[in-house]
Amino acid sequence: MEDLFSLLRIDSQSAKGKGAEAAKFLVDYMKNKGIEAEEIRHKSVNPYVVGELNVGAAKTLLIYNHYDIQPVEPLERWETDPLTPTIKEGKVIARGVADDKGALMARLESVISLYKEGKLKVNLKFLYEGEEEIGSPYMASFLTDNAKRLKANYVLWEGAGKGPNGAPQIVLGVKGLIYVEIRTETPKDLHSMYAPVARNPVWELLNFLNELRGEDGKVKIPGFYDDVVVPPSVEGLYASKLGIDMKTVERALGYRVGDDFLVKLVRDPTCNIDGIQAGYVGEGSKTVIPSSAFVKIDFRLVPRQRAKDLLAKLREMVDRKGFKMMVLGEVEPFRTCEDSEISKALIESAKETYFVEPLVLPNSPGTGPMASVSNMLGIRQIADGVGPDNPESNIHSFNEFIYKRDYDLCKEWMTNFLRRLGSQA
């Protein structure tokens, strides 16, 4: 694991402008192993690392990872130095080992081994980003400008690791997102004795939110559910069927949820209030009719809902009220079908490596830019898998770790995956 440790020692906290050293390390490392590689400075501070290994195969796989890491703070909560990778009780502890340097290096090491042995039957392209942890601000523009160069048949996402049942996890899509801030105002704060005749922006906003979502959680934007596709495979996601320990889930959420929690997480689009504020919120009482109120809302969308269309419908509702709306996020959902070549290769190689049924999620409960990658590069088969992390890896938190054994298995999974993909292609 010497190469992984070298990468983990490099500070690449993108939030602090760090990363250039890691990019250089990767380019040198890849070149050294016979892979074409270069840094491309786009608009970003940290360069994109782009690589290619053409073995003359019919099909090409683009491997996406990121070399930047979350900030290491709070330092006092770490049991070891976050930038000094440490092996302890079978764990490798370091910032970034689970997200995402472990997956990056495990995959790369497998590729190099297969290549050396002459067993690589699929062409490879590599895209390593250095600003994922600060929201990939220039990714879309980079992809647009470099679409030709990154052209491929498949994309392997950053690494899904193990699922809540301990089985290797394969994720075939992402949810979409609409994030908006809605605001309403009156000319000035008023003494609350005027309540019988005054407009109260908070009540106006609350009445609107009540029109937006029912008490049952159902979203009331017209046609919201029209295009929802429920994949039959969600029926396999009941916790009892998968042997998921509900106590782990209870610990994560803080309370007990139903046997169908994973079904719902994958299947259901939502409308969530992220924040709301108006009026007097200090100690004690102030009798006031606030002059403004705002709410931040996110909608998670499932395939084949269309963020763009629903946002337009939402804007109509907001406009009718005379409120103001600011769009803070718009991501389309995406799903690759379960019997695509990349899906089958991921599933079969997982079984071969771990001797268990992998946990296959038709889409993540979370959001990512798969749809825009798909559109910009013209690639339909995008999936996530082949990572060394587990649900308790403390991603984005202190004492981030992976099990050493999972790193070795991840390399094996990658080898098996590439072999299967090459034989299918």
The residues of the shown chain that bind a copy of itself, judged by CB under 8 A, are: 175, 177, 179, 181, 186-188, 190-200, 202-203, 206-207, 209-210, 213, 215, 217, 253-255, 257-258, 261, 264-265, 267-268, 270-281, 284-290, 293-294, 296, 298, 300, 328-329, 364-367
Give the residue with the Cβ less far from a copy of itself, 169 or 416.
169
Question: Strand 334-335 relative to strand 173-174: parallel, antiparallel, unpaired?
Answer: antiparallel
Give the residue with the Cβ less far from a copy of itself, 48 or 323.
323
Cβ 271 to a copy of itself, closest distance in Å? 8
DSSP string of 94-145? -TTIIIIIHHHHHHHHHHHHHHHTT---SEEEEEEES-GGGT-TTHHHHHHH
Alpha carbons 34 and 46: distance in angstroms, whole number: 24
Specify the DSSP class assigned to residue 384: B
Cβ 263 to a copy of itself, closest distance in Å? 9
Tell me which H or E stretch contains 183. Answer: strand 176-185
Give the residue with the Cβ less far from a copy of itself, 255 or 355.
255
Give the residue with the Cβ less far from a copy of itself, 56 or 254.
254
The residue count for the chain: 425
What is the number of other CB atoms lying within 10 angstroms of the CB of residue 284?
5
Give the residue with the Cβ less far from a copy of itself, 144 or 277.
277
Alpha carbons 1 and 132: distance in angstroms, whole number: 24
* Per-position b or e across 141-157, b if 16+ CB within 10 A of its CB: ebbeebeeebebbbbbb
Cβ 56 to a copy of itself, closest distance in Å? 41
Specify the DSSP class assigned to residue 60: E
Cβ 244 to a copy of itself, closest distance in Å? 13
Give the residue with the Cβ less far from a copy of itself, 55 or 246.
246
Give the residue with the Cβ less far from a copy of itself, 241 or 286.
286
Give the residue with the Cβ less far from a copy of itself, 263 or 342.
263
Cβ 205 to a copy of itself, closest distance in Å? 9
Cβ 109 to a copy of itself, closest distance in Å? 31
Give the residue with the Cβ less far from a copy of itself, 147 or 326.
326
Cβ 197 to a copy of itself, closest distance in Å? 5
Give the residue with the Cβ less far from a copy of itself, 55 or 395.
395
Q: How far apart are the first and last CA of the chain?
A: 31
Please answer whether residues 101 and 67 qualify as being in contact, where contact means their C-beta atoms are separated by less than 8 angstroms. yes
Cβ 17 to a copy of itself, closest distance in Å? 19
**3-class DSSP assignment, residue 359:** strand
Nearest to 125 by CA among 63, 205, 207: 63
Alpha carbons 346 and 261: distance in angstroms, whole number: 24
Question: Strand 48-53 relative to strand 123-129: parallel, antiparallel, unpaired?
Answer: antiparallel
Cβ 309 to a copy of itself, closest distance in Å? 21
Which tokens hold the place of 20? 């250039």
Alpha carbons 220 and 357: distance in angstroms, whole number: 38
Alpha carbons 98 and 407: distance in angstroms, whole number: 10
Cβ 329 to a copy of itself, closest distance in Å? 6
Residue in the block written with tokens 């440490």? 86
Tell me which H or E stretch contains 190. Answer: strand 190-191
